[in-house]
Structure 1
Amino acid sequence: MLMRNSFLDVDIENLWYHLVLRIAFFIGFGACSFGLSRTPEGAIGTGQRRIMTVFAILFSVIAAGSSASYFVTQTAHPLAFDFIVWGLSGAGLCCLFFLWIETVTAVSQSSIVKCLALSVVCGCGFYLVITMLPSPFNIAMLAICPLISLGILKTLPREPEDPPAADSAPARPALSADQTVESATNLEAIPLTESKKNARLSWAFGAIYVVYGIVFGLGSGSVTQIAGDATLFVGIAALAALGALAAFAFMRRFSGRIEQSNMLRMVFPFLVIALVPMSFMSDVVYTLCNLLLLGAYVFVLLTSIAFEFQTARNRKASYLFFIGTSQTALSGGLVIGYGLGFAASATGAINLSMLSGIALGLVVLLAAFVTFAPIEPLIHDPAPVEPAPANGASAAKTGESAAEAAERQAEHEKGHWRACCAALAERYALSPRETEVFYYLAKGRGIEHIQNKLYISSHTVKTHTYNIYRKMNVGSREELLDIIEEEKRAQRGE
């Protein structure tokens, strides 16, 4: 739905009409995401799930009815009617998206991005089938796809949460799919008020996704001016699938070893490569640049969802709150991006090359924003601190082996060290970026290691190091480490 040929494009001549319909779609998607992110219970209930299923089915009904009506009458619908229809369609696909997100919560952390990438690759195949089939077969396929998705969702095998032992009481009756999902999600259901408190999201989290949405909206909106043919449709499917596979490869290699802010920074070169030629080239190069933006969009979308699952679990917050918030912000940015394209198309004051230049300027601002904005409340997730055994409690008394006791103590020490560093960073008023550098300095890391980890220049590392030393009134790494040791002893009461 992000690109072209949604509802078969019904031979709409005007670019602005395409953009208005996509604005309506993402208004519906964003409004639904916002509503789900504010679910008081922190999980989808049985009644809410049924309503979402109805909305997902409604998309199929709307797609079939609207497309078939045009195919039969060859008459375009009124703009107000299409705007409402597309808004409802956005809400319907948002409901289907979150129903699947709920199911993905049951799989292991390492399998989440695999499920997401597989769904996009499968979707690309269906996209090609829909665009290549002649009417009315593609109309039928468009309406059937969400129903197939719902059918798979309903028939997925699910295990009861506590299977009885063979020699215990008689086995309980098998749970229905809805009952099983309800019990499974209730285990991780965290109320909205608690999720907001635990999540510790900064204002920069939503702002970053809004700007990303604007950039992608400007790029993908201009694709609607490119003449549709088999080559373009294959390119759209191929780049979307490539973005999904890149997200899978990235998370498989770097999950747990890289922060979300660094992932967002890694996308900047691809955005610049795509946007610079778009400002002064056309035809084939222009099309390829748009498709590269699509691949980057899919990559950011999937990796962000995977990071948010991880952070929600670590922070003891609802996945609905995290993912719903990011999807709301991203949809809002897409609405603004399409809106800028609509204003340019309707007034004729700005051409598409100028819009590409605006998008490039936003990427530059975004790079600076991600570098200096206080997004650490989302990015940094301190390791959970397990309480150390009480004084005098031996490994034998606690039932632990010597190795387990040593590992437990090491985790406790690690958590205590991070708490000391966090307290010092707050006491000496270190900026978010200085805090990042401070953690690595406290570990004894060198300048080259820090610049590679944070994707910044050695000069920037030296500047932050100088500022840290100045604020903490130290002249060397040894003095800095002494301050940390003193803080550790102070917190222990020694």
Structure 2
Amino acid sequence: MAKSADMPDAVPRAPRPFRGDGDGADPSRGMLALLVLGLGCLFSSLLIYSGTVISFLRFPVFSLALGPAGFMGMFAETTLLVATLIAAVLAAMSLRRSRPLPFMALGAVAAVAYLCCALGFGFACYFAVDIPTVYLLLGAAAAVADCGMALVWGRVCARRLSIRLALVVVGAASALSAVLCFLYGWLPLEGMLGLLFVCSAVAAVVPLAVHEPPASQGEPAAADRPALASLFDVAGMPSLGLVAFAFAMAVMRTAFNEGQGAYLGALALSGAGVVAFALLKRGPFLLSGGLQQTFLPIFALVVLAGVSITATLGWGGGASDWLTYGLYSMAAVLTLATLCAVAHAGEFSADLVFSVALCAFCGASFLGQQVGGALPDEMISVTVTLTTTLYAFALVLVSHVRRRSEADGILGDAGASGETSPVPAVGSGAPAAGAEEASLPDAARGCEPRGFAGRCAELADAHGLTAREREILTYLAEGHNGSYIASALFISPNTARTHIHNIYRKLNISSREDILRLTREPRP
């Protein structure tokens, strides 16, 4: 039976993901529905997203000749370039600032700017304003407003959504946005503008309505923030899907304009597939496993094979376009859900996670537009195929390196945490039958975990472990190593090793066997 979206993960004895904000309750069904609605409206009203902007090409003003790009090209390139710069500045500020901007102030300003930009852009399109400066100014203003809304929604999702809930909410919101963008193309121009304004209002109001101030002190001090390299270590590979999506869709600008229906259909199917996966999956979701490490590489290879077969048989590009849209929309949905989970884990601030992602997305989109505009039409498909090939190669290579690293103990705990015995390597799922049992000490092998959770809690209370250390202690007592813990908690391996070292120091132990002896009792 499929698991409901607001139920905790079905992992025996697994602790709740640490959030660092004192919040301990999963969102209710009503809250999840509101988040899906608001996020779907955001995806369908962002003016830095081509799925939204392309619908405006129906307006007569964009049929006027104005240089090689036209009014829409001028607006889109300005928006993406300015958004890239703003996101880079926001990322730098989030690394240096001791406290984030107040949520309500940021949300209110971003909401007003977001609605004003939607109204202004709709007015210029409907009344066929043909002044180039207007679209340049609108593009810059839209970049500021969209970046602000991205940070606001990033904070909401980081606070509310663990990985399972993030997959459900982001997947359902993506499917909803595909439906809304389809309505943009089906409704008359007046109806399209009315729907855009409604979506913009919902996207702006929902985060203010669902916001809850954190119970704890908020963000860590600037001196305590992890290095930017640690963020790339955690989210770099998943974010590659979002970058590839942005670049490929921008390069395919002409084909994307003409085949938007195929893209929206692929996006809806991808979102529904992610939701089904999240509800049906049993066991833990891992940063380095599941869809990211297994499904996407296979899907990318299928896309390459499909492109080759259709080109050889002369069937046209319809089927290969569907496959390409499906691959990149799936990668984008998974990336957004993963970023929510990384920010939810609390190691990195939500502002840092989403400003870096926004900078990468807008930068890749801008670069893709420049490449697509400079290439002849016959080279567009070649460029997209090359991008897909590189993406597939990167997925396979990183998956192989990570698995080899885990198997060799490179990402394990032996050196950094002071362990004196090897740790069982755990990959993207549960360990093989008997693997961890064989590595247990004689005193713990074949033992029942009687009073297991209570004993871990007693040790944590007695030795003053932090909330994160309590959580990691439970994983260590279950026999997991540092790389598995980092992947399960969506934190960097270095951070996991640091926490393990602190646990050993506080418990005055030096090996994994000591933890097993402290937390397990022999079977009578």
Residue 251 of structure 2 contacts residue 369 of structure 2 at CA under 8 Å; is this kept in 1? yes
1:48: which partner in 2?
106
Deviation at 1:369, TM superposition (A): 4.9
TM-score (norm 1): 0.62
Mapped partners of 1:242, 1:339: distance in 2: 29
Unmatched 5+ stretches in structure 1? 157-179, 386-400, 423-431, 433-484
User: Which segment is superposed worse, 39-48 or 208-217?
Assistant: 208-217
Residues 92-146 of structure 1: CA deviation (Å, up to 9, x unaligned): 2332233233223443524333222232232222212221112233233323320
Residue 59 of structure 1 contacts residue 93 of structure 1 at CA under 8 Å; is this kept in 2? no
Amino acid at match of 1:271: A
Mapped partners of 2:513, 2:136: distance in 1: 64
The match for 1:243 among 270, 287, 291 is: 270
Local SS of the residue matching 2:298 = helix
- Shift of the 292–54 alpha-carbon distance from structure 1 to 2, 3 Å rule, reads farther
Residues 49-75 of structure 1: CA deviation (Å, up to 9, x unaligned): 3332233123212321221231xx6xx
Within 5 Å, give how 1:214-293 maps onto structure 2. 214=244, 216-225=246-255, 228=258, 232-252=259-279, 253=281, 256-260=284-288, 263-265=291-293, 266-275=295-304, 277-278=306-307, 281=311, 285-293=316-324
Local SS of the residue matching 1:196 = coil
2:200: which partner in 1?
146
Q: Does 1:304 align with 2:335?
A: yes
TM-score (norm 2): 0.59
1:69: which partner in 2?
127
Q: Does 1:98 align with 2:151?
A: yes
Q: How many aligned residue pairs are there? A: 378
- Shift of the 302–28 alpha-carbon distance from structure 1 to 2, 3 Å rule, reads farther
Deviation at 1:355, TM superposition (A): 1.7
Mapped partners of 2:482, 2:168: distance in 1: 35
Residue 75 of structure 2 contacts residue 139 of structure 2 at CA under 8 Å; is this kept in 1? yes
Deviation at 1:404, TM superposition (A): 3.5
1:86: which partner in 2?
139
1:415: which partner in 2?
476
The match for 2:225 among 195, 199, 209 is: 195
Mapped partners of 2:257, 2:232: distance in 1: 42
Deviation at 1:414, TM superposition (A): 5.1
Residues 274-332 of structure 1: CA deviation (Å, up to 9, x unaligned): 35555774998524433443333333333333333333444533122223323322332
The match for 1:2 among 50, 67, 73 is: 50
Residue 114 of structure 2 contacts residue 146 of structure 2 at CA under 8 Å; is this kept in 1? yes
User: What percentage of aligned pairs have identical amino acids?
Assistant: 10
- Shift of the 325–381 alpha-carbon distance from structure 1 to 2, 3 Å rule, reads farther
Mapped partners of 1:420, 1:251: distance in 2: 25
1:60: which partner in 2?
118
- Shift of the 366–23 alpha-carbon distance from structure 1 to 2, 3 Å rule, reads farther
- Shift of the 142–302 alpha-carbon distance from structure 1 to 2, 3 Å rule, reads same
Q: Does 1:362 align with 2:390?
A: yes
Mapped partners of 1:95, 1:136: distance in 2: 27
Deviation at 1:339, TM superposition (A): 2.1
- Shift of the 83–126 alpha-carbon distance from structure 1 to 2, 3 Å rule, reads same
Mapped partners of 1:403, 1:367: distance in 2: 38
1:353: which partner in 2?
381
Amino acid at match of 2:107: R
Mapped partners of 2:140, 2:289: distance in 1: 32
Mapped partners of 2:78, 2:350: distance in 1: 26
Deviation at 1:343, TM superposition (A): 1.7
Mapped partners of 2:352, 2:284: distance in 1: 21
Mapped partners of 1:51, 1:255: distance in 2: 41
- Shift of the 287–414 alpha-carbon distance from structure 1 to 2, 3 Å rule, reads same
Residue 242 of structure 2 contacts residue 332 of structure 2 at CA under 8 Å; is this kept in 1? no
Within 5 Å, give how 1:399-478 maps onto structure 2. 402-408=451-457, 412=473, 415=476
The match for 2:166 among 88, 93, 112 is: 112
Amino acid at match of 2:361: L
Residues 409-434 of structure 1: CA deviation (Å, up to 9, x unaligned): 79748538989878xxxxxxxxx9xx
- Shift of the 248–26 alpha-carbon distance from structure 1 to 2, 3 Å rule, reads farther
1:324: which partner in 2?
355
Residue 262 of structure 2 contacts residue 322 of structure 2 at CA under 8 Å; is this kept in 1? yes
2:505: which partner in 1?
none
Residues 413-468 of structure 1: CA deviation (Å, up to 9, x unaligned): 8538989878xxxxxxxxx9xxxxxxxxxxxxxxxxxxxxxxxxxxxxxxxxxxxx
RMSD: 4.4
Amino acid at match of 1:85: L
Amino acid at match of 1:240: L
Residue 79 of structure 2 contacts residue 140 of structure 2 at CA under 8 Å; is this kept in 1? yes
- Shift of the 355–141 alpha-carbon distance from structure 1 to 2, 3 Å rule, reads same
Mapped partners of 1:217, 1:107: distance in 2: 30
1:461: which partner in 2?
none
Local SS of the residue matching 2:231 = coil
